[in-house]
Structure 1
Amino acid sequence: MYAVLYARIPSFIRSEFGLKSNPSLKGKKVTITGTLSEYFTHLGLKDVSAMDSVGDRTGVGSYHDSAS
């Protein structure tokens, strides 16, 4: 069984964290900070303020909203 949480990734960081532009991330772990609310009729994260890679994933870093 897989644990999935829908998350709206801001357009300016999709090239680094989005699965469409970075399919090798599928199944990898990231830490996401955002607002928990309904997204695509499921519980999900919106208004993402931070994203970090977990573990050894060369080429994927982090994003932190300086306003948060």
Structure 2
Amino acid sequence: MPHRLPQGQDFGNGVISVKPFHAWSSPGTSHLTLSERRIVGGMLQRKISVVQIAVQLGRHRSTIHREIRRNF
């Protein structure tokens, strides 16, 4: 699984990382932090789709689905 890179990092091959970089997240982390869970809860109450939540948090949609199944 590729690790996260700082936002906007250019690799010289036309590919620029767009995922946010979180210093507290280690590569391959599949669990959400408490603050991310709170954000997910608020977005779910506003009827925002899981895909949009995943994009906003820079996480894969399956991670969001799994956390919802475990904790909501």
The TM-score normalised by the length of structure 1 is 0.22
Normalized per residue, the structure richer in helix is 2
Q: Which structure's CA Rg is the greater one?
A: 2
Q: TM-score scaled by structure 2?
A: 0.21
Q: Give the structure, 1 or 2, with the largest relative contact order (CA under 8 Å, sep 6 or more).
A: 1
More strand by share: 1
